[in-house]
Copies of this chain bind each other. A is one copy, B any other.
Amino acid sequence: MDIIKPRTLSGFMELLPAKQAQFEKMTQILRDTYAAYGFAPLDTPVLEDAQILLAKGGGDTEKQIYRFSKGDNDLAMRFDLTVPLAKYVALHYNDLVFPFRRYQIGKVYRGERPQRGRFREFYQADIDIVGDGKLDTMNEAEIPAIICKIFRGFGLRRFQIRVNNRKILTGFYAMLGLEEKSGDIMRTVDKLEKIGPDKVAAILVEDCGITPAQASEILHFTNLSGDNADVLSALESYAGRNEIFDLGLAELQAVTGNLAAFGVPQENFAVDLTIARGLDYYTGTVYETTLLDYPEIGSVCSGGRYDNLAGYYIDRPLPGVGISIGLTRLFFVLDDLGLFNPDLPTAPADALVLPMTAQPGAAIALAEDLRSAGLRVQLYGEQKKFKQKLAYADKLGVPFAVLLGEDELAQGKCSVKNMTTGEQVTLPAQEAAQYIAAALAEKDGPLILEKSNGR
């Protein structure tokens, strides 16, 4: 047979089993957290009618999209989870209950130029809360709690959820008589962290056509800092001069007002007037999340409030708020930084049962008993020498080997060997299961281990 050299396309992540186990743990934390906040899981097709997916059209999206024909169909692979959500909500509008809260963790596709850490197929993990006509600010206030629960669930402590409100920016620009240029200014200011204040000022003056004095006022405003209370009171000094500004300030106060009740620690949250998000889609609260020790990664969880989710598909205002985590990239970066806790087992089984008698019946039944007790158990069926069997457990990283020989059988027990310490105890099946479960619980710890002093 002719051999074709196997390969995986570049830009497509394909993990070895141990890393896949870590990835699955991240996914499980996301699913559990989203579910804990009452979001319904949603699954939409990867392939959609290209006309529908590109209703908004234009820009990089159109260039990057995987689009093709089959039969009469003009097909495209989804490039995010927001457009499919908009389609879903418009299509099933009459069957949904609003506010509609959904989470979706799924693969999306962008045919970008491949480069290290950029993927053409990657997971997004999104939540959105979509109202019918109206949606209370309380929903925006809840989002930081969810972000916080997720990142703390991963084991991270040194992260910051940075929040702003685009109405505050729009209102402030209006105070300077620059309401017409609001979008351009915001997109420029959004680059502050990337290119620094001098270049932002230059672009504001040269490209946006505002005066140097205005640019300087904008940068001064954007620079208001301190703890949340300081920034909020500085903002209050601008109140009463523009309606949009006042509305944005009230929303920001609502979002920041109940952080303690939501269980969000002060150190994980900051009002940050530099956050604008590039997209005009957002109309109020905007969120970014940064890892404090790794600012160069940029935001690892972003989103915001929007007023019109599905205007391309339905003639009805559907305001909402949502966030998105680029899961594949986040995983890549955390792994690249070496932050995954090396002490957590990544083996597919908690225990490997090694039959050591002529008849395998007792070992089979033992494996089933250990499974009934909640353990993940592999029965090793190969005819190999004892040493090779243990070497297999070792290579897989299975934490416990369970041996069943004639001696154990005669006693109605089994021997449990701790593969890390070499320690071995002989116990009846039920006690063996408890012993293993207790030892695993002791090994348990955070998925991500922050290096204690940054890096």
User: Residues of B contacting A91 with CB < 8 Å?
Assistant: 6-8
CB of A6 within 8 A of CB of B313, answer: yes
How many residues of A are counted as interface, with CB atoms below 8 angstroms from the partner's CB atoms?
A: 103
Known A14-B88, A365-B261; contact A75-B71, beta-carbon cutoff 8 A: no
> CB distance B9 to A138 under 8 Å?
no
A348 near B40: Cβ-Cβ < 8 Å: yes
Q: Does A302 contact B (CB under 8 A)?
A: no
Complex interface: stretch among A42-50, A292-300, A334-342: A42-50
Q: Which of B4, B17, B55, B381 is close to A138, meaning CB atoms less than 8 Å apart? A: B381
Q: Is the CB of A109 within 8 A of B20?
A: no
CB pair A37–B6 under 8 Å, yes or no, is: no
Chain B residues near A365 (CB-CB < 8 A): 261, 263
A24 interfacial by beta-carbon distance below 8 Å: yes
Chain B residues closer than 8 Å to A378, beta-carbon distance = 37-38, 101
Report Cα–Cα, A91/B16, bound state, in Å: 11
A331 to chain B, nearest CB (A): 11
Q: Is B40 touching A262 in the complex (CB atoms < 8 A)?
A: no
Q: Mark A109-137, 1 if CB is under 8 A from B, else 0.
A: 10100000000110000000001001111
Which one, A210-218, A356-364, A440-448, is touching chain B? A356-364
Bound-state CA distance A49–B6 (Å) is 9
Shortest Cβ distance from A375 into B: residue:
B36
A107-B46 contact, Cβ under 8 Å, with A70-B66, A364-B262, A382-B136: yes
In the bound complex, residues from chain B placing their C-beta under 8 Å from that of A220 are: none
What residues make up the interface of A, taking CB atoms closer than 8 Å to B? 1-9, 12-17, 20-21, 23-24, 35-49, 51-52, 55, 66, 68, 70-71, 73, 75, 77, 87-88, 90-92, 95-97, 99-102, 107, 109, 111, 120-121, 131, 134-139, 141-142, 145, 258, 260-263, 310-315, 348-349, 352, 360-362, 364-365, 368, 371, 375-379, 381-383, 392, 395-396
Residues of chain B with a CB closer than 8 A to A35's CB: 348, 376
The reply to whether B49 and A46 form a contact with Cβ atoms under 8 Å apart is no
Closest B residue to A140 by CB, please name it: B381
Complex-state Cα separation, A6 to B49, whole angstroms: 9
Contacts A9-B48, A131-B382, A135-B382 known; 5 new A-B pairs at CB < 8 A: A1-B312, A21-B41, A37-B371, A45-B121, A258-B364
Contacts of A47 in B (CB 8 A): 9, 12, 66, 77, 109, 120-121
The residue on B at minimum CB distance from A396 is: B97
Give complex CA distance A212, B262 in Å: 79
Closest partner residue, chain B, to A142 (CB atom):
B379
For the complex, what is the distance from the CA of A365 to the CA of B100, rounded to whole Å?
A: 22
Contact in complex: A52, B6 (CB < 8 Å): yes
Residues in B whose Cβ lies below 8 Å from that of A96: 16-17
Q: Is the CB of A8 within 8 A of B45?
A: yes
Smallest CB separation, A441 vs chain B (Å): 17
Of chain B, the residue at the smallest CB distance from A71 is: B111
Q: Looking across the interface, which residue of chain B has its beta carbon closest to that of A136? A: B381
- Cβ A9 vs Cβ B101 within 8 A: no
- Residues in B with CB closer than 8 Å to A95 are 16
In the complex where A6-B313, A14-B88 touch, is A379 in contact with B138 (Cβ < 8 A)? yes
Q: Is the CB of B90 within 8 A of A6?
A: yes
- 17 example contacts (A-B, Cβ-Cβ < 8 A) are as follows A4-B55, A6-B310, A7-B87, A8-B44, A12-B47, A17-B40, A17-B42, A21-B40, A38-B349, A38-B352, A38-B377, A47-B109, A66-B68, A97-B392, A99-B381, A258-B361, A261-B364
Contact A17 B102 (CB under 8 A): yes
Complexed CA–CA distance, A43 and B73 (Å):
28
**Given A1-B311, A313-B4, A379-B138, A14 and B362 contact (CB-CB distance below 8 Å):** no
Decide: A4 and B97 in contact? CB cutoff 8 A. no
Q: Write out the residue numbers on chain B whose beta carbons fall within 8 Å of the beta carbon of A382.
A: 99, 131, 134-136, 138
| Distance, CA A10 to CA B127, complexed state (A) | 26
